[in-house]
Amino acid sequence: MSIFGFLSGEFIDVIEWTDDTRDTLVWRFEREDHEIKYGAKLTVREGQAAVFIHEGQLADVFTPGLYMLETNNMPILTTLQHWDHGFKSPFKSEIYFVNTTRFNNLKWGTKNPVIVRDPEFGPVRLRAFGTYSVRVVDPALFMREIVGTDGEFTMDEISYQIRNIIVQEFSRTIARAQIPVLDMAANSRELGKLIGGEIAAQLAEYGLALPELYVENISLPPAVEEVLDKRSSMGVIGNLNEYMQYQAATGLGQEGAGAAAIQAGLGAGLGMQIGAQAAQAGPWGARTAAIAPPPPPVEHVWHIAEAGETKGPFSKAKLGRMATEGTLGRDTYVWTAGQDGWMRAEDVMELAQLFTVLPPPPPAG
């Protein structure tokens, strides 16, 4: 082999990068001290850019395509070397391949709660998280500002910094937007666009762009969520008095412990309503609630058995009118919540007085 052939074999004539890592942003073409010869082939694939660094200075940037490295397509490097158009000698230069594809499904989230002033609930603490995508749009600027001389720069090395920028801008945007907490879910898309727009200028200083940013969830502290759940439940119930009356009427058809539990629930519901009214009345209301008399007992309502069928419920006043009209007799079987089975009306102490104004049945002849 001739000396010229040996030297030619030492020079690199094909320069390319095939990335299979899916997380590498910048990769330095390793030369192992081999020089690049005049006319070498440079292959830059779609989603890549090649940046030449010559003696510490950023020189030419190549976009996707196939290049023959000659003086006419390396103008900056030619100027730095003071080459003329007859340049035929090999040269040394660091070559960095920059991944310009979009990196998707990157996570961001608030490490600590963000305090905002809600128009309805006052100061509340919020947490949020979501995803974003990022890509390199200015390889030369990205090399100068971020990478430096790092031979293999991955997405993990800058994702933490981007997350901090997103969280900071999220906090500022939420504070200025004054969106009620209950409306944030409906405005998450607009929030993402607003935050992304605010971040774009800052990332552009690094040679980066933020094509997408999503706010997937905004959560409240557990105590506040519990209050909201109770508030939603009350909204579903509607009128508390009507709800208790309905529960009482439907529960009277049950026997034994189930019916007694409903009666106890009615008393508890009345107590809750009185407590809520006292709380709304302020400090003075709290004092009067402490000395207020207990609520009156719940009036019993009755069912009657007639011809194998159950009728009712009837109030005691209604049963009194029925006794006067003769549609309720002493031997009529009646039942109320808490009573142990059906009993004749005259055997129930509370109803026996309804028949004292009527003469008893005549003795058997």
Residues 6 or more apart whose CB falls under 8 angstroms from that of 98 comprise 25, 26, 48, 49, 50, 51, 136, 139, 142, 143
CATH code of residue 309:
3.30.1490.40
Q: Is there a domain that residue 248 lies in?
A: no
Q: Is there a domain that residue 261 lies in?
A: no
pLDDT attached to residue 262: 45
Same domain (yes/no): 17, 45: yes
Classify the C-alpha dihedral 28-46-166-105 as positive or negative.
Answer: negative
Q: Which region among 91-100, 176-185, 323-332 has the lowest average model confidence (pLDDT)? A: 176-185
Cα angle 327, 333, 338 (rounded to 5 degrees) comes to 125
Percent of the chain residues past pLDDT 70, beyond the cut: 69
Q: Is there a domain that residue 157 lies in?
A: yes
pLDDT attached to residue 253: 55
Domain boundary among 171, 206, 224: 224
Q: Is there a domain that residue 296 lies in?
A: no
Enter the pTM of the model. 0.56
Same domain (yes/no): 309, 345: yes
Q: Is there a domain that residue 271 lies in?
A: no
Render 109-131 in DSSP notation, one character per residue.
Answer: E-SSPEEEEETTTEEEEEEEEEE
Same domain (yes/no): 112, 153: yes
Range of the domain at 28: 3-99
Residue 94's pLDDT band (cuts 50, 70, 90)? confident
* Alpha-carbon span 125 to 113, nearest angstrom: 5
Count of the separate structural domains present in the chain? 3
Of 70 and 290, more confident: 70
Q: Is there a domain that residue 273 lies in?
A: no
Q: Quote the crossing angle between the two packed helices 222-237 and 240-251, to the nearest 10°.
A: 70
* Alpha-carbon span 117 to 119, nearest angstrom: 7
Same domain (yes/no): 111, 220: yes
Q: In what order do the strands lie in the sheet with 94-99?
A: 57-62, 48-54, 94-99, 24-28, 152-154
Residues 6 or more apart whose CB falls under 8 angstroms from that of 317 comprise none
Domain boundary among 196, 224, 252: 224
| Residue 7: Cβ within 10 Å count | 12
Same domain (yes/no): 213, 114: yes
Same domain (yes/no): 95, 193: no
Closest residue by Cα to residue 206 from 48, 25, 11, 6: 25
Say if residues 303 and 348 touch (Cβ distance below 8 Å).
no
CATH code of residue 133:
3.30.479.30
Cα angle 11, 13, 19 (rounded to 5 degrees) comes to 115
Over residues 48-76, the mean pLDDT reads 82
Which tens digit of pLDDT belongs to each residue from 136-162? 999 999 998 988 878 899 999 999 999
Tokens of 100: 């310009």
Q: Is there a domain that residue 309 lies in?
A: yes
* Alpha-carbon span 166 to 128, nearest angstrom: 11
Q: Is there a domain that residue 285 lies in?
A: no
Classify the C-alpha dihedral 251-299-334-258 as positive or negative.
Answer: positive
Q: Quote the crossing angle between the two packed helices 156-177 and 188-204, to the nearest 10°.
A: 130
Cα angle 94, 98, 102 (rounded to 5 degrees) comes to 175
Domain boundary among 65, 82, 99: 99
Same domain (yes/no): 195, 306: no
Same domain (yes/no): 321, 342: yes
* Alpha-carbon span 52 to 34, nearest angstrom: 15
Same domain (yes/no): 40, 86: yes
Same domain (yes/no): 90, 17: yes
Same domain (yes/no): 107, 93: no
Same domain (yes/no): 37, 90: yes
Burial category of 60 from C-beta neighbours within 10 Å (exposed 0-12, middle 13-18, buried 19 and up): buried
Which tens digit of pLDDT belongs to each residue from 41-52? 889 999 999 998
Which tens digit of pLDDT belongs to each residue from 168-196? 988 888 888 778 877 887 788 888 888 89
